[in-house]
């Protein structure tokens, strides 16, 4: 088994509360960005963009998260808002995954552009392993909130796809069952 296959098969998400260490260095961030940029990209549209949220900006993002929680539930209590703020502060490194789409491209449909964004995200996660880092992508309906869209200056064709939390982890990882090859691989047979 090659090293890259071993990394793919062993990759597991590790939640933010289990990640430690400092924020990533500019060199580590450059490695992750280079790996993400190596994803398939039909038409050279570059739909994937990464935005590092440095430690000194996390408190500002925490307020954006609280505003997104208020959008979702205008009656949210103080504990709910604090929980939203805490999520922005969790983990040593936080990277936003943005999708900058070209909706009416004559050759590359939007679905294919999303595949490119997903492939870039996977490359980033695998590159993190090569740096002895662990990560977890986080997403959800609040990614579409006006608060987050405004904070990241997103136009109509730009989307906040996920956040990735990264750091170091020395403890046990939670193993979750994965489907085996026979469950997902079929052979096409015309009628």
Owner of token pair 């309906």: 141
pLDDT recorded at residue 46: 95
If one compares 144 and 175, the residue with the highest pLDDT of the two is 144
pLDDT recorded at residue 2: 67
pLDDT at residue 1 is higher than 80: no
CB atoms within 10 A of CB 39: 18
Name which of 50, 53, 10, 23 is nearest 166 in CA terms.
Answer: 23
The tokens of 49 are what?
Answer: 């963009």
Rounded CA gap, 175 and 191, in Å?
40
Q: What is the dihedral of CA 146, 134, 129, 6, to 10 degrees?
A: -110
Q: Helices in the chain by DSSP H: which ranges?
A: 3-10, 26-37, 58-72, 78-89, 110-130, 146-151, 181-184
Rounded CA gap, 41 and 91, in Å?
30
In order, the DSSP letters of 52-64 are EE-GGGHHHHHHH
Phi, psi of 3 (to 5 degrees): -60, -40
pLDDT in tens, 22-77: 999 999 999 999 999 999 999 999 999 999 999 999 999 999 999 999 999 999 99
Q: What percent of the chain has pLDDT over 90?
A: 82
pLDDT in tens, 123-142: 999 999 999 999 999 999 88
Q: What is the mean pLDDT of residues 7-19?
A: 89
If one compares 3 and 189, the residue with the highest pLDDT of the two is 189
Contact between residue 31 and residue 127 where contact means Cβ atoms under 8 Å apart? yes
Work out the mean pLDDT of the chain and round it to a whole number: 93
Name the band, by pLDDT with cuts 50, 70 and 90, for residue 11.
Answer: confident
Buried b (16+ CB within 10 A) or exposed e, 9-37: eebebbbbebbeeebbeeebbebbbebbe
């Amino acid at each position: 088994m090659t090293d890259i296959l071993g990394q793919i098969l062993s990759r597991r998400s590790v939640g933010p509360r289990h990640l430690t260490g400092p924020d990533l260095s500019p060199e580590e961030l450059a490695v992750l960005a280079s790996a993400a940029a190596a994803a398939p990209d039909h038409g050279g549209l570059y739909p994937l963009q990464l935005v590092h949220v440095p430690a000194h900006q996390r408190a500002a993002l925490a307020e954006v998260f609280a505003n997104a929680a208020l959008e979702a539930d205008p009656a949210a209590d103080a504990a709910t808002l604090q929980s939203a703020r805490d999520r922005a502060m969790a983990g040593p490194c936080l990277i936003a995954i943005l999708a900058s789409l070209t909706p009416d491209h004559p050759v590359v449909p939007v679905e294919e552009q999303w595949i490119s964004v997903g492939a870039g995200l996977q490359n980033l996660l695998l590159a993190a392993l090569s740096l002895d880092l662990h990560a977890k992508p986080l997403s959800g309906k609040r990614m579409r909130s006006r608060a987050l869209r405004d904070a990241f200056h997103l136009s109509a064709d730009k989307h906040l796809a996920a956040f990735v939390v990264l750091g170091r982890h020395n403890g046990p990882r939670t193993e979750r069952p994965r489907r085996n090859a026979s469950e997902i691989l079929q052979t096409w047979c015309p009628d």
